[in-house]
Amino acid sequence: MEIRHNEDRFYLYEPDTGKEIGEITYSTVKEGVIAIDHTRVDDSYRGHGLAGKLLNALLDYADLKDLKVVPVCEYAKAAFKNKPEIRFLLADNYQQLLKDLEEEK
């Protein structure tokens, strides 16, 4: 299983089957800030920590690119709530940005 990245998502790919197993998507909020929009793992692969691996890949990318994060999807919100060690990646005003994003929908 491989984690791959294209312009707005990281995804899990199984080379043996050619199947995509899950993904985490993000979008640009403003310069230097991204929103984690959605996390999905195929039902048959749940419970194996794969969503966490996708989130870690995205957070590593954000850290490497000096991006701050707004958690929009419930999985990302829970991760930031439960893992204080990743909160340094939160955008300074992420709560207001989150509210603004939700109002746009």
Domain 2-104 sits in CATH at 3.40.630.30
Q: pLDDT at position 1, please? A: 86
How confident is the model over 4-52, as pLDDT tens digits? 999 899 999 988 888 999 999 999 999 999 999 999 999 988 899 999 9
Q: pLDDT at position 22, please? A: 96
**Single pTM value for the model:** 0.87
Q: pLDDT at position 105, please? A: 56
Mean pLDDT across the chain, nearest whole number?
A: 90
- In the chain, domain spans: 2-104
> What are the start-end ranges of the H helices in 1-105?
50-64, 74-82, 94-104
